Amino acid sequence: MSVRNEKLITIPNIITLLNLVSGLVSIFLTALGNLPLAYLLILLAATFDAFDGLIARKIGQESNIGRQLDSLADIVAFGAGPAVLILKQASLNPLYLIPASFFIACGALRLARFNLYGTREFFEGLPIPAAAIFAASMVIYFPVEITGWIYFLIGYLMISSVIYPSIKTSYGRNSIIISMIIGFILLLFLATISSELISDSFVKLEALGVFLAMILFYLAFSYALISPIIFYKTRGKAYYRNVRLQNVSK
């Protein structure tokens, strides 16, 4: 079927649009100053993003339109959403337009690169949903003086050549599980002292948002910085090179 004949309204595309709308609502809630709820909407968007492709494959409705729509939704929910969060956290301080702009620009580049030669075997660069959860958790859990610098790191990881495991492969799942276990260990050891890093303005936030931010920060940290090392050790450099060559030649 040609792209022109593909259906616009399909179940997977509707789920992708829910991802997009969740990102828009997150930005709206950020503008209202409700950062914990805005954070939860980013998590909801990530949930929709995880299921749209899975359902498309299950019911045989994968399409080129769906793949393009997914990237457009992602740049709103996982690019603009966290960028607006840090600006609001910084009380719209123009200086924080720099890390916010860097983050969303790197997210757009990451999505464009994936659309051209991405593979299901692994991810080249930190996937933007994981980057968004990492960044948004920082906003809820840490003061803005720390968050701004970390946004630069997360943005760089998105456009880097660092290889990240994919849950779509068995060896990728194994690397992710090990990194998540390490994340939980970090959580248990550091949660008691990390509360000192919470800024005074965030002490009274809704309990659910802060609780999830605390947990997901350590998990996202482990995925972003530890899982590539584990994945590299289990697969080897030659494996990545071969998959890249095969994908580029398609």
Tens digit of each residue's pLDDT (9 = 90 or more) over 165-209: 888 777 788 888 888 888 878 777 765 555 544 444 444 445 666
Write down the pTM of the prediction. Answer: 0.85
Predicted pLDDT at 131: 96
Better-scored residue on pLDDT, 226 or 249: 226
- Alpha-carbon 36 to chain mean position: 17
Alpha-carbon span 132 to 83, nearest angstrom: 9
Which residue did the predictor score with more confidence, 219 or 247? Answer: 219
pLDDT in tens, 71-109: 999 999 999 999 999 999 999 999 999 999 999 999 999
pLDDT at 103: 98
Q: What is the pLDDT of residue 243?
A: 57
- pLDDT of 229 reads 87
Mean local confidence (pLDDT), 39-55: 92
How many residues does this entry show for the chain?
Answer: 250
- CA dist., res. 36 & res. 148, Å (int): 18
Q: Look at residue 149 and tell me whether its pLDDT is greater than 80.
A: yes
CB 61 within 8 A of CB 12: yes
Residue 238's pLDDT band (boundaries 50, 70, 90)? low
Give the list of residues 6+ apart from residue 128 with CB closer than 8 angstroms, or none.
Answer: 74, 75, 78, 79, 107, 110, 111, 158
Q: What is the reported pLDDT for 237? A: 59
218 bridge partner residues: none
Residue 222 to residue 42: CA distance in whole angstroms: 19
The residue-averaged pLDDT of 206-216 equals 74
For the chain, the farthest-separated pair of C-alpha atoms sits apart, in whole angstroms, at 57
Per-residue pLDDT band at 247 (split at 50, 70, 90): low
Residue 15 has pLDDT above 90, yes or no: yes
Round the average pLDDT of the chain to a whole number and report it: 84
